[in-house]
Structure 1
Amino acid sequence: MSTRMPALAVGCVNRAAPFLLLRECSKLKHLLKCVTCGREFEPEPSLYTCPHCGDRFGTLEVLYDYDRAHFDSLSPHSELGIGQFLPLLPLEGLPELPFVVGNTPLIKLEKFERRYGLKAFYLKDDGRNPTASYKDRATYVVIGKAQEWGFKTIFAASTGNAATSLAGLTAAAGLKAVVFVPARIPEGKLAQLLVYGATVLIVDGSYDDAYDLAVEVGFKKGWYCRNTAINPYLLEGKKTGALELALQLNWDVPDVVFVPVGDGTVISGICKGFMELKKIRRIDTIPAVIGVQAEGSDIVKRVFEHYIATGEIVLMDREASTIADSISAGKPRDVVKAVRYVKETGGTFLSVSDEEIGTALVSLARETGVFVEPAAAASYAGFLKMAETGDLKNKRVAVFATGNGLKDVKTAQSFVGKALRVSNDPEEAFRLLDKMETV
């Protein structure tokens, strides 16, 4: 069904009650458009992908009336967090949550600027979100849609971060979460799920197996879906990282932005955020967005290279294997948007080895005090790789760190030495320390 673009209602945030669902607020109108055939649809609870193009090629874009979109006021320290971007979110009002999502630190690191000849270097630390990952941005929007449409249970398949985000935010919102996770989920992420009270199904297989099972079961149960790419509103939450970064820099956006990539939704969202800011004339130029994949899970990169060479998007699924579990995806679901959007920004994709990821994780922690998980370290590893070529000289650069290191301490420990064990004898401690100082 194709319809005209309805009017966009804006400027309706009630700052006196920032954590209540604002049913008095005029509805924000939007349409859904298939990325392949271009058909447009009006939103409805059961519509996730284009019925004509399928789950992979039929992912949907959320469209707004950009000529009418404006913000009354914005602040990098807003008590609304990403809720202050409501005019560019597909929500009637703010979700019923007792805490802020977003407002994560943007850390300026001058020593990196000097070392690599940059005009500026920024680290966006999204491990500071409520459940310690970037995925809270997407879950925020999903919670809002579930509340609008009356769903009580939300399901998702995840390598860990999306599941823990869903478990934590549903607990806060008084909703139920059912999550499907692969057998190799890190212990820290599994612990979060169980503590939050989610129903957890550990699937004998990969993330892709968990994804397919979740869809089969969740839809038959009539639950709301938080699966990557299938739900078009996830990307709308993930684009807020770009909106927030631009706001924190007073709309003077970087030249180059590095993002870790698995399924492709995070990078698609960040690209869309920048593109929308340009459409509403908040920024003049769009940063080149660089997608960084693990070498053992670089399907989106391969599809992108084929797309640049031929103009065609061809799926290249294969088994994925990497220490960076959060970006391990052998069957990436948002590949169409990812490759098209990155091309539109003038960006590209590159891959890094597990060794480079581990080394980047440790060096980032030791130089900045920011402890990230392997997937988040991938974007920094990609930055280091490109910096070595000299292509970033005199550029303003931002790196998205998408998850906290405490989510996967086992992998982090494999890249560092062991702690020293001593008795409670001070002399033994002195001898050991003196020996270390002479090495």
Structure 2
Amino acid sequence: MPAAPLAELVPGTRTPSGPGGLWRYRACIPVGDDIAARLTLGEGHTPIVSAGSDLEGVALKLEFVFPTLSFKDRGAVVLIASAVERGARRVVADSSGNAGSAIAAYAARAGLECQVFVPAAISARKRAQILAYGASLECVAGDRTAAAEAAIAAVARTGATYASHIYNPYFLQGTKTFAFELWEQLGRGVPDAVIVPAGNGTLALGAARGFSELQAAGLIERVPALIALQSECCAPLAQAWTMGSREPVDVEVTPTSAEGIAIPRPARGAQILAAVAHSGGCVVSVPEVAIEPAQRDLAARGLFVEPTAALVWAGLLIARHHPAVRGIAVESEGWTVARALTRGNVAVPLCGSGLK
């Protein structure tokens, strides 16, 4: 990636004759400006706020401040823009909720027909949001993998474009802008660590790509350590990390409130594990009982997030031995690393609104 598109940016400005938000980095996003201008809903450049005086060095990036209330808009707008450029008229997606809402919204914006396959157990609010955008919603018995298989079968049957936030490379071209924004908002620097949720890894992989591009452009000397978190109820990556495996492992799955990352067989699991290892980070699982206290703690700070976002906050609180999670003990080599990494400056993206 050429250095100029990022190096020439002045913090707080728009690009010459161009939009703000994530399209501020449009020279680094491989879709046409005309399509971007037509589809944008003002997504991106989400706020960063301090966590508070009790958590020194912790910055919260409010990734739920998006048109559809989750960070998935970053990837969805770029994915749909690329589909429009390629002449798509109908798209099919699979999701645990947030990606489906984002793809449905931008498909509506683009005038595309949209069909979204979801596990039947997703929340009623997420179903309602997808339907509100005019998408066809298919609730599939089984887990997240079953929804993906049904979507792929529909694509084969109908010839529609598969708008997969997992496999389509354009989605990560959008989520990488998280790293660009963080770099700018922190005064052209990066924190010691970034804590991310890890299901299918669209934020973890996008952030890794973005930080890598910043480093390749000579704008940062090092990439921040990625601390990837999963629920203990569905932790194929965390268990793989503990075992020293380069591939996700089969796990017994139990219900979790963090439905957004309840992915028993992540298709890009090996890439997620590799990206975390390359960054010097770790993958750990969070006790389910820590999610609700963390959600309450954020609400007391004025921030209402969904359980998946609260899980990430729970990880930070546990690593910092915060009173909000007193009595919740975790011990593993991964958590030892996480505690060491979170002693310095840490960025915590809060990826979904509590209204979800």
Using the size of structure 1 for normalisation, the TM-score is 0.72
Say which one has the larger Rg: 1
**Superposed displacement of residue 72, structure 1:** 4.1
Residue 99 of structure 1 corresponds to 41
Q: Which amino acid aligns with 1:206?
A: D
Structure 1's 77 and 214: CA in aligned 2 closer, same or farther, altered over 3 A? farther
Residue 374 of structure 1 corresponds to 307
- The gaps in structure 1 that reach 5 residues or longer are 1-64, 408-439
Pick the aligned partner of 1:343 from 269, 277, 290. Answer: 277
Residue 66 of structure 2 corresponds to 129
**Superposed displacement of residue 269, structure 1:** 1.1
Q: Which amino acid aligns with 1:121?
A: V
Q: Which amino acid aligns with 2:140?
A: V
Question: Which whole-Å CA distance do the structure 1 matches of 2:74 and 2:201 have between them?
Answer: 15
Structure 1's 77 and 106: CA in aligned 2 closer, same or farther, altered over 3 A? farther
**Superposed displacement of residue 335, structure 1:** 0.7
**Superposed displacement of residue 220, structure 1:** 3.0
Question: Which whole-Å CA distance do the structure 2 matches of 1:143 and 1:75 have between them?
Answer: 28
Are the equivalent residues in 1 in contact too, given 2:48–2:60 (CA < 8 A)? yes
Are the equivalent residues in 1 in contact too, given 2:92–2:154 (CA < 8 A)? no
Residue 30 of structure 2 corresponds to 90
Pick the aligned partner of 1:262 from 186, 199, 211. Answer: 199
User: Is 1:385–2:318 an aligned residue pair?
Assistant: yes
User: Is 1:241–2:181 an aligned residue pair?
Assistant: no
Report the count of equivalent residues. 334
User: Is 1:324–2:258 an aligned residue pair?
Assistant: yes
Question: Which whole-Å CA distance do the structure 1 matches of 2:91 and 2:49 have between them?
Answer: 34
Q: Runs of 4+ in structure 1 displaced over 6 angstroms?
A: none
SS, match of residue 285 in structure 2: strand
**Superposed displacement of residue 73, structure 1:** 2.8
Question: Which whole-Å CA distance do the structure 2 matches of 1:233 and 1:320 have between them?
Answer: 32
Q: Which structure's relative contact order is higher, taking Cα pairs within 8 Å and 6+ residues apart?
A: 2
SS, match of residue 126 in structure 1: coil
Q: Which amino acid aligns with 2:220?
A: I
Residue 295 of structure 2 corresponds to 361
SS, match of residue 338 in structure 1: helix
Question: Which whole-Å CA distance do the structure 1 matches of 2:159 and 2:304 have between them?
Answer: 39
User: Is 1:147–2:84 an aligned residue pair?
Assistant: yes
**Superposed displacement of residue 387, structure 1:** 1.3
Question: Which whole-Å CA distance do the structure 1 matches of 2:194 and 2:307 have between them?
Answer: 18
Residue identity (%): 33
User: Is 1:293–2:211 an aligned residue pair?
Assistant: no
Are the equivalent residues in 2 in contact too, given 1:74–1:84 (CA < 8 A)? no
Structure 1's 393 and 350: CA in aligned 2 closer, same or farther, altered over 3 A? closer
**Superposed displacement of residue 108, structure 1:** 1.6
Residue 406 of structure 1 corresponds to 355
Residue 17 of structure 1 corresponds to none
Question: Which whole-Å CA distance do the structure 1 matches of 2:252 and 2:92 have between them?
Answer: 25
**Superposed displacement of residue 170, structure 1:** 1.5
- The gaps in structure 2 that reach 5 residues or longer are 322-335
SS, match of residue 116 in structure 2: strand
**Superposed displacement of residue 75, structure 1:** 4.1
User: Is 1:73–2:9 an aligned residue pair?
Assistant: yes
Structure 1's 237 and 386: CA in aligned 2 closer, same or farther, altered over 3 A? same
